[in-house]
Structure 1
Amino acid sequence: MPIIEEIVTKSSNSKAVIVDFENGKIEPGQENTLKTGMYKDKECREFVSISSEKVLYTGDVCSDEEYTSFIMVHNEENNTVKLIEVDHCSVAPQIYKENSMLNYSMESMDKSVSELNKQFGSKKAKRATEQRERMTMNIDAVKEQVEKTAEKTSVENAPVQTVQEEDSLYRPKINRDASTRDGVYDLDDVIPNGVLDTLIPQASAVLNSGDSVDEYQLTPFCTDSIKKILSLNTPEEIKVRNIAIFFYINYLIKFMNTPFKNITKRYVACDISQEVNRHILDNFCVYTQNGRTRPIHMKDKCLCYIIVLAAIAKEYEVNVALLSKDLKIGLKKAVEISKILAFNTSSKDKSIVTLNLPLPAPVTFNSKRKMK
C-alpha cells in the first residue's frame, strides 16, 4: 500500500484547477499555442481564461465547500503518493465578451480618430470624416420615429382572391365539359390555322422526302417527338400537322432560351415564317414605352402552351423531364404547371404527364403566390 508522502492544499499563491472543454479536447501538440490565466471579477468570483489564435474560452471555477477534490500522483519507485487539492472548471468558446480589464471601447476610439483627422488630417481625410459624421444616424431617434409612424398606420385586410382556370391570362382555354380528350383543348385556340399552315411545307418535307430530322437542328425534345410521330401508324395528314406543331414548339423553346437582352426590335423568333414570328412576339412578349419585354409570367405562358401543344400532337402524353432539360428549368416546376393544366403524372414514370378523362379537380391558387 503506497504511503501518502505529501498533501498540497490550496493557498493564495498557487491553486490547481481541472479544466474541461465543452466542445472537444486539445489536439496533441497544440498545448504550446494556448495562453491561459486565472482571474477574479468585481464580485471576487474566480474564472479561467484560455485563448488560442482564433477562439477565447472562459469558465467559472467551481469550488464546493462540502467536499474536497484531490489529484493523486503515485511515485512507483518510492511507492509514495502525493495528493494535490484541485477545483473544477468547464470552459466554453466565447463569440464576444467585453474585456472589463482593458476597458476598451470601439466607440471612444472612433471618436478619437475622428478628432485627430479633423485637426491634423489632410483635406481629403477631413472631408471624409465630416461626411461620415453627417451620415451617422441616431438609432434611438429613428426607432422612436418608426414606432410613431407604425401607430398611425392602419392596415386593411383585403380578402384573398382565388384565381380560377377561366381567369388565367397565360393558360390556354380549357373545356371541362368535353367528352373526349381532343375536346379538352382546341388547337385553334392555341395556334390559329393560318399560322400553323405556314409550317406545313417544312413538315411535309420531313415526311415525304425522307429528310433526317437531325438535319433541322431542333431541340432534343422536338427531335425525339417527331421521330416517334414518324414511327406511328397514323394518316399522313395527321402526321404532317403534328410535325408542324413540334416545329412551332421548337421556335417557342428557342425563344424562351434566348437571353432577354437579345430580344430587341430586330429579333426574329422564326426565320421561315413571318406569321409564326409575329404570333410568338405578339403573344409571348409585352410592349412598353421602352420597347419589347418578356416578364416571368410570359415564360410561364410559354411553358403552358408548349405542354398543351405537345400533348395534342403526341397522343396526350408529354415527357416533361426531357422538356425541362431543353427549357433549362426544374422538373418539379414542369410537373406543377402540368397539374394546373389538368394533367396527371404517370403511375409508371413520374417524368411523364398525361391528359385523361375524367379531368382532375381544378387547381386554384392564391393570386399572391409566385410560381417557382
Structure 2
Amino acid sequence: MPKFHIDEVFPKGDLYPLIVNFQNGYTTAEFQTKECLLLKNENTGKTCIATELNDLVYAGEEDNEPLGKTLILTKNRKTGKVRLIEIMSAELKPILKIDNYASQLLETSNLELSRKFGSKKHKQQMEQKEKLKVNIQTVTEQMQNVTDTITEEKLDLSSYNKNDSDDFYIPPINRLADRPEDVYDIDKILTEDQLEKIWSELEDKDYEANMFPFIKHIMSSRKLSEKHTVLAVYADSLLKLYLTNIREISKKSYVICPHSVKLNEIILSSFTTTTNNRRCRPTQYKDKALCHALVFILLINKLKFELEGLCNDVKLTVNNASMKIRVTGAHVVNSGSKKIIQLKLPLNTKNAFRRKSARF
C-alpha cells in the first residue's frame, strides 16, 4: 500500500465542500445533479441546505462537530500531491406539506354532521371533545402573565431548608481556637464600618432605659467599650425579638431597635424572612436570635454570666436554656447554689438531645 505525505491542509473558509446524506435513502448511479439553495440561520449561525427531488423538498442544517472535524483526502493525479480539505456534512430530511386548512374544514364538517344526524351518545362525545379543545395562543398568554407576576419572595422554602448544623444558630465560630477569647471574633460579627455607624447612632441616646434588667446590670457593673456597648444593645434587641409576637413582627411599621437605624436593619435582614411581601420569623430564626444574644452576653461579660437572671428576664426554663447554651459551645457550671454559663475550652460539643426538626 503506497504511503502518502500530506503537503497542505485547507481549513474551512467562506467556501468549502459539502457532503450530503439523505435520511430516507442513499444515492445511486442514476442520481443526477440538482441545484441546492444555501441559507444562513441568523439565530444559530448555521448553514441550511434545501433542494427538490422527486417532487419532494429536502432540507437540513450542517452537523455540529464539537469534538472533531470532517476531512477529505484529495490527490492530484498529475503531480501526485496529496491534500486534506475540511468539509461540512449535513443530513437532508423530506419536508411534508400538510394542508391544515383542509383538515380543519373536514373536522368541522364531521362535527356538523354529528350534531344533525348522530345518536345522542355520539353527540355527547362530540360536545365533550369540543370542550376539551384548547386555544394554544390564549394559554400561552395566560402562562406569560402568570410567570411575569411570580417573584422569589412568594416562594417560601424555609420549611425545606434543613438547618441541622449548629453553625446556623450562632455567629462565626473558631472551634480550633487555643484560647476561649478567640472562639468568637467581634470583627466577624460586625464590620468596622457597621460598628462605627451603629455607635454614632447610639451615642447621646438613652438606650438603657428599656433594657432587660439582666443586661442593664452587666452594663452598670463594668465599664464597657464602644464595641461591647453595641453588642449589649444588639443582644437586648435580639431578646426582645425572641419574645415579640409574630403579629407585631409582620407589621410594616415594626421596629426592633429604635435607637439605631443601622442595627435595626441588620437584625430584620438576618433574623427574619419575607414571604409574599410579609415579614415572618420562622421558629429556627427565633432560636437563632436567642443563641446570638447568648453569645453577645458572654462576650460583654468576660465569657460568663448567671443563668437564673437570664431565665427570669426571658421567661425560659433551665432545661430549655441549657439546650440553647450547648449550641454556643458554652458550659453550665455549678457554683454553690448558682448555675453559671461559661465559655471555656474544650467547647461543649455533646449531643444532649437528638434534633427531630429545625426547632429545639
TM-score, scaled to structure 1: 0.47
TM-score, scaled to structure 2: 0.49
